[in-house]
Structures are given as structure tokens and as C-alpha cells.
């Protein structure tokens, strides 16, 4: 039996989770791909899609990019070597990219939010969004625009 192709995914990419709430709460200005430094049990939990984006964000500390408050559930069959669910995880990016993001976020008061996690050619990757917070009225307007777009597609 043939495998189903994921909608919109490139070959060799297996999507694990997507942060839909981020697209509602923030206006995504730019998306950046980064690697994640993980432990073995974290990789196994990710393959089982045991991840939650609630309140997670990225921050630059001492010239390194860190992912904070991302909850990866402990591996079900793990032993005493299991990981802590919300430990800080290092993101793998070039130093130049990190410094540019830091300067941009500080200058324009932007936030770094994880948008999705996926495996690309067997390696865990995360898409980080450079985001600007939306106010309540902006959220309503974006939702209305999305609903209008869906209605137009249904008519065609």
C-alpha cells in the first residue's frame, strides 16, 4: 500500500506538530528554520508526536539561541534516563543569524515563537517565527478575513 503524501510538505519532511495558536495570536513577519539539540528520549517522544507548544518561545542568551517552555512529554518506555519535559533546548543556528535576530527583536519589540516541528531527512528541525503581537481587534479582523477567503473558495 502506498504512503499518503503530506499536503504542502517537501519530500523527506515529516511534520510532527504545528502551533496554530501562534498564527492567531501573532502576525508572523518572517520564518526561520533551525535545528534542535535533543536527547535520545526526546527524539523518540517527538516521533510519537508528544509535544505541546503552549507558552513556548525562543530567546537569545549569551550569543546562543534557546527554546524555552516547549513541553516534550517523557518517553513512555524510558527509564531513569528520561528527560525533563520543559527543559531549555539549544537551537542550532549560525552566529550571524542569531545576532541579526537579536538586534531586530530588541529594536522593533518583536517575539520569537516556535511555529512547527518536523523531521527533515531524519533530523529534528523547528520553524521559528519573528512575530508581532496582535490586539483583540486585529485577531477578529484576521479571523473574518480567513472566513471570507474560505467562503470564496467554496463558491468556486
pTM tops 0.75:
yes
Query: What would the pLDDT profile of 128-146 be if each residue is shown by its tens digit?
Result: 999 888 787 778 888 888 8
Query: What would the pLDDT profile of 13-62 be if each residue is shown by its tens digit?
Result: 888 989 988 888 888 899 999 999 988 888 888 888 888 888 899 999 99
Domains of the chain: 13-155 (2.40.280.10)
DSSP for 101-145? HHHHHHHHT-EEEEEEEEEETTEEEEEEEEEEEPPHHHHHHHHHH
Cβ atoms of 91 and 55 closer than 8 Å: no
Amino acid at each position: 500500500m502506498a504512503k499518503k503524501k503530506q499536503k504542502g510538505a517537501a519530500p523527506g519532511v515529516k511534520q510532527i506538530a504545528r502551533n496554530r495558536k501562534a498564527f492567531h495570536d501573532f502576525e508572523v513577519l518572517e520564518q526561520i528554520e533551525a535545528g534542535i539539540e535533543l536527547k535520545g528520549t526526546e527524539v523518540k517522544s517527538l516521533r510519537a508526536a508528544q509535544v505541546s507548544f503552549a507558552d513556548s518561545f525562543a530567546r537569545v542568551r549569551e550569543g546562543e539561541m534557546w527554546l524555552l517552555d516547549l513541553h516534550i512529554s517523557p518517553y513512555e518506555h524510558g527509564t531513569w534516563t528520561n528527560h525533563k519535559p520543559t527543559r531549555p533546548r539549544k537551537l542550532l543556528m549560525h552566529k550571524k543569524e542569531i545576532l541579526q535576530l537579536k538586534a531586530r527583536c530588541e529594536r522593533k519589540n518583536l517575539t520569537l515563537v516556535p511555529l512547527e516541528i518536523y523531521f527533515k531527512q531524519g533530523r529534528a528541525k523547528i520553524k521559528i517565527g519573528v512575530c508581532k503581537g496582535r490586539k483583540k481587534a486585529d485577531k477578529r479582523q484576521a479571523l473574518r478575513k480567513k472566513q471570507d477567503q474560505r467562503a470564496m473558495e467554496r463558491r468556486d
